[in-house]
Chain A
């Protein structure tokens, strides 16, 4: 067994404790459960609403095409999606005077109450009034929003139905359609990378892109913070137990110790990161299914925004280098940790460096940022894998390659600094007895005198 393998094995065993594995598994299960709960809510919200209807009995209208009744019209709307024997479960007659009780007892989403003069008004060519009645119940973000948007949609369907009955012949219907909407603006064309694409809007593309890429910055942030915490804690623990002093006097090269720690932390970090990614994918599958139907119709590959094998390889390289940069920074920070407890606080700068690009890429993105924010994003190495997917979809290879080059230099520099620190006294004495710190202190004392 080589010295490197020996160190990597020791570190991996130390990091993959039952406690750490259990906490990651709990998180994965938690994400999956959250996904299921949200998925269930989404399913509930997209199911056909149960509608109560009141005061319709005496409001049957005679039209040129026959009789029109709100209750029957609602049933006709539902007939396309519900078997005839189940129609009564969805369209429930209610009493105007006991509407609250009827609504709460039946569990209907809302009820429609026709005005007492509904028939009279319509027949005298005045607009008839239908009230939409809801019962507020704390039902969560998804259900509450969806049921209140469906009410007006149902009334709009009733409108179309009654309107076509009133108009009568098909020729008349076409004429009315022309009179009300003489301009047809239903076709949209969007240019993507100079190519025109029909029936797709920038917002459809943006929604689809967001649904595909929004989880990447979160996962990268989690991996970076996890790997960082692992390395810094390992360093703190080694210092606290003075096992590091022993390790440094064994016949092994400092570079082997540094490399061993980095490989082990990267491996464990990636394992944990993949587990989180799995949990997050369960969660996000449910979240993204909440989007509009238009975005699902968008095929990014057809629009030339899909990713190829080479693109995925570049994203992987970018992620690997970001982890290497994080480990480099953590090894430097960990060198200054006095013990396990102080090591925990040292993860703070790394967390900030991981959170800043996550928020910027999620909410503004590289292309929506101003020059100052772009500079901040570019300088923080963890931004690059977060931005890489969007950049590659947009064909911006320069940004991705520049990021990779920058991260390679950054990672190499930080690892070289780490090896140098391992060869210095700081690892043993800490900053307190560093010669530069001592010089600063003595200068301070002299200036006071």
Chain B
């Protein structure tokens, strides 16, 4: 299987302070890879470096063989990034927002098809023609996921995709992520929600204080640490319990 994402000894420093300490990992094509860790552990910094919006202090990141630092334009054409608590342009309607994004990827019939795909993924019904500032948080998140996926990226990077959503909305979003993964898109996502990661991800990386402390499938990790849930695994891994 092709390597979708490869991190080699990646470090990120802000002056004297190192936020990410030599992380190395590989994500295979079609995998759903979850990064779990508490606030400030370094998950978002890692995702931002993969997404080309933060510079890497040392080490390398490759997306489908393209170096993030040296070939950022090529990388950006293959990825799609959804930041935590991201919003959309509030004055636009859902349809216009999807069209605005699609304009950067395609034109003519191809663009129209992309927008149509986005509308179907968002599944907002008639509300797709309502202004975004009238959407609920769940509706906005569905629209943004649709935006991130409609361009058929090879790698989708989703940061805390269900944070702040109610149970029903979070459940529906997880369903959407699984569908996307089944269509062959590689997904790297971060989450506080261990249950969510257990449900959705093929493999999990545990991050603590900028270090990747362990990687494995949820089942492997539970077995390794002798715990019932991923939450217990994480606590054991971090505190050594």
Contacts and interface: CB of A to CB of B under 8 A. Distances in A.
Contacts of B87: 240-243
Contacts of B188: none
Interface in B75-108: 76-77, 79-92, 100-101, 103-105, 107
B213 interface: no
Interface stretch (B14-22, B24-32, B220-228): B14-22
Chain A interface SS verdict (over half): helix
Contacts of A428: 48, 53-54
Contacts of B54: 425, 428-429
B107 A434 contact: no
Contact of A1 (B82, B85, B90, B103): B103
Interface in B147-162: 147
Nearest to A17: B91
Given A435-B14, A438-B16, A442-B15, A251 B85 contact: no
Contacts of A242: 83-87
Chain B interface SS verdict (over half): loop
A13 to B, nearest CB: 7
Given A245-B81, A251-B77, A433 B90 contact: no
Nearest to B81: A249
A246 interface: yes
B200 to A, nearest CB: 22
Contacts of B52: 248-249
B34 to A, nearest CB: 20
Nearest to A441: B15
A243 B55 contact: no
Name the interface size band of chain A. Answer: 20 to 34
Given A241-B88, A425-B54, A246 B15 contact: no
B14 A14 contact: no
A251 B48 CA distance: 15
B86 A241 contact: yes
Contacts of B81: 245-246, 249
Given A13-B91, A251-B105, A434 B14 contact: yes
Name the interface size band of chain B. Answer: 35 or more
A241 B14 contact: no
B80 to A, nearest CB: 7
A250 B101 contact: yes
A352 interface: no
Given A245-B83, A246-B86, A437 B15 contact: yes
Given A249-B53, A249-B79, A442 B86 contact: no
Contacts of B79: 249
B77 to A, nearest CB: 4
A10 B100 contact: yes
A434 B52 CA distance: 17
A438 B17 contact: yes
B73 interface: yes
A409 interface: no
Interface of A: 1, 3, 6, 10, 13-14, 17, 240-243, 245-246, 248-253, 424-425, 427-429, 433-442
22 contacts: A1-B107, A3-B104, A10-B100, A13-B91, A241-B86, A242-B85, A243-B89, A245-B81, A246-B86, A248-B52, A249-B51, A249-B52, A249-B53, A249-B81, A250-B76, A251-B77, A251-B105, A252-B76, A425-B54, A438-B15, A438-B16, A438-B17
Given A250-B76, A442-B15, 8 more contacts: A242-B87, A243-B87, A246-B147, A249-B79, A251-B104, A435-B15, A436-B15, A442-B17
